């Protein structure tokens, strides 16, 4: 496994080693000892799987006060995955990073606690898997507005399919984001 630190502190891109032959391929989606040896030492307590159709945009979600880190990968399909730094006092507060995650590139994005996370499905459908560092708590979930002009995220869709909750997200200025 190769772990790469990204331009926004805390974000990491993980490239698992893929063993392929004429039958298909095999890869380890998580191996704690190998990740620890690469300087990535996170404990995960919950695994989630979501299924979405083309054009669905989920996010930008975060939890407070029980911040959640997520290790995101795609089992089937392709997504544009986005993380927004919402750590007040961070030199990259309000900055975002986006990457294509797919069943063919096998990349994983680690989104640490203190970030909002979302994705948009760019294939016909996608199964997205993510490991979480804390348990989901619906009373503590918050949503940033996906198209907040202050964030300026370059989503690959103009009119996404949104849940009511995601359509009514708050701008970065409106959001109740405490100092960490």
pLDDT at 135: 95
- Strands (DSSP E) contained in the chain are 2-5, 12-15, 18-21, 24-27, 46-53, 57-63, 70-76, 78-85, 96-102, 108-111, 115-121, 125-132, 141-143
Model confidence pLDDT, tens digit, residues 112-157: 999 999 999 999 999 999 999 999 999 999 999 999 999 999 999 9
- Annotated active-site residue 31? The verdict is no
Catalytic residue chosen out of the listed positions 25, 61, 106, 136? 61
Segment 41-54, tens digit of pLDDT: 888 999 999 999 99
Q: How far apart are CA 132 and CA 165, in angstroms?
A: 21
* φ and ψ of 60, to 5 deg: -95, 115
CB–CB of 97/126 below 8 Å? Answer: no
pLDDT of residue 35: 80
For residue 119, the tally of other CB atoms under 10 A from its CB is 27
Catalytic residue among 106, 130, 136, 142: 130
What domains does the chain contain, in order, with CATH numbers?
2-18+41-167 (2.60.120.10)
Q: Is 106 a catalytic residue?
A: no
């Amino acid at each position: 496994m190769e772990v790469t630190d990204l331009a926004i502190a805390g974000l990491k891109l993980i490239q698992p080693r893929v063993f392929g032959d004429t039958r298909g391929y095999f890869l380890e989606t998580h191996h704690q000892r190998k990740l620890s040896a690469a300087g990535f030492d996170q404990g995960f307590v919950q695994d989630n799987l979501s299924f979405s159709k083309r054009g669905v945009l989920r996010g930008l979600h975060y939890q407070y006060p029980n911040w959640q880190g997520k290790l995101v990968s795609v089992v089937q399909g392709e997504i544009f995955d986005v993380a927004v730094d919402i750590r007040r006092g961070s030199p990259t507060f309000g900055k975002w990073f986006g990457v294509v995650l797919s069943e063919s590139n096998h990349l994983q994005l680690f989104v640490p606690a203190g970030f909002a996370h979302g994705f948009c499905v760019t294939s016909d459908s996608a199964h997205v898997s993510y490991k979480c560092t804390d348990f989901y708590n619906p009373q503590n979930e918050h949503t940033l507005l996906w198209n907040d002009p202050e964030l300026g995220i370059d989503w690959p869709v103009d009119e996404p399919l949104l849940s009511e909750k995601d359509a009514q997200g708050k701008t970065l200025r409106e959001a109740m984001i405490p100092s960490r």
